[in-house]
Homo-oligomer: A and B are copies of this chain.
Amino acid sequence: MSTPFRVDIDDVEFVFFDQLRAHERLSQIDAYAELDRDTYAATFREIKRMAEEVLHPVDRNGDRQGCTLDDAGNVTTPEGYKGAWDRMAEGGWIAAGASPDLGGSGMPRTVAMICNNVFASAGCAFMMYPGLTAAAGRVVAAAGPDSMREMVTTKMYTGEWGGTMCLTEAGAGSSVGDNRCKAIPVEGREGEYLLEGEKIFISGGDSDMVDNIVHLVLARTPDAPEGTKGLSLFLVPKFDFDAEGNVGERNGAKVVGIEHKMGINGSATCVLALGADMPCKGWLVGKEREGITLMFGMMNEARIGVAGQGEAVCNAAYQYAVQYAAERVQGTALMRSRDGEAQRVSIAQHPDVRRMLMTLQVTAALTRAAVCRIAFEEDLAANTADPKEAARLHRKMDLLIPVLKAHCTDLSFEMASTAVQVYGGYGFIKEYPVEQLVRDAKIQAIYEGTNGIQAMDLLGRKMRVNSGALFMEWMSDSQKVLQEAGKEGFGTQAGAISRAIGQLGASAMHLGKLAGDRKVDTAFLQAVPFLKTFGYTLLGMEALDQARVAKKLIAEHGEERPIWVRKVAGLDFYVNQILPQAVAWAKVVQSGDESPLDDRVFA
Contacts and interface: CB of A to CB of B under 8 A. Distances in A.
A175 B344 CA distance: 10
A354 interface: yes
Nearest to A341: B226
A510 to B, nearest CB: 13
B601 A566 contact: yes
A425 B329 CA distance: 40
A340 B227 contact: yes
Interface residues of A, number: 102
Contact of A352 (B456, B522, B602): B456
Contacts of A427: 446
Interface string A441-464: 011011100111001100000000
Nearest to A567: B601
A229 to B, nearest CB: 8
Contacts of A524: 334, 350-352
A456 to B, nearest CB: 7
Contacts of A326: 602
Nearest to A455: B352
Given A260-B430, A262-B428, A527 B598 contact: no
Contacts of A585: 580
Interface string A576-597: 1100110111011001110111
A170 to B, nearest CB: 10
Identify which of A178, A334, A592, A602 gathers the most chain B CB atoms within 10 Å of its CB.
A602
A576 B591 CA distance: 6
A602 B355 contact: no
B357 A525 contact: no
A476 to B, nearest CB: 26
Interface in A193-212: 200-201
Given A226-B340, A262-B429, A352-B527, A565 B598 contact: yes
Contacts of A353: 452
A431 interface: yes
A413 B424 contact: no
A378 interface: no
A600 B566 contact: yes
A261 interface: yes
A31 interface: no
Contacts of A451: 421
A15 interface: no
A331 B588 CA distance: 26
Contacts of A425: 168, 173, 200-201, 446-447
Contacts of A572: 593, 595
Given A580-B584, A583-B584, A428 B330 contact: no
Nearest to A359: B596
B577 A430 contact: no
Nearest to A592: B576
A335 interface: yes
A167 B227 CA distance: 61
A335 B522 CA distance: 12
B428 A443 contact: yes
Interface string A338-358: 001100100010111111111
Count this chain's copies in the assembly: 2
A130 B54 CA distance: 46
Identify which of A351, A565, A566 gathers the most chain B CB atoms within 10 Å of its CB.
A351
Identify which of A226, A580, A581 gathers the most chain B CB atoms within 10 Å of its CB.
A580
Contacts of A456: 352
A529 interface: yes
A73 B46 CA distance: 48
Interface string A216-238: 00000000011101000000000
A361 interface: yes
A372 to B, nearest CB: 21
A585 B435 CA distance: 27
Interface of A: 168, 171-175, 177-178, 200-201, 225-227, 229, 259-263, 269, 322, 326, 329-332, 334-335, 340-341, 344, 348, 350-358, 361, 413, 417, 420-421, 424-425, 427-431, 435, 438-439, 442-443, 445-447, 450-452, 455-456, 520-522, 524-525, 527-529, 560, 562, 565-566, 569-570, 572-573, 576-577, 580-581, 583-585, 587-588, 591-593, 595-598, 600-603
16 contacts: A168-B425, A174-B331, A178-B330, A178-B331, A261-B428, A326-B602, A351-B524, A351-B525, A357-B602, A358-B595, A425-B446, A560-B600, A566-B600, A569-B600, A576-B592, A583-B587
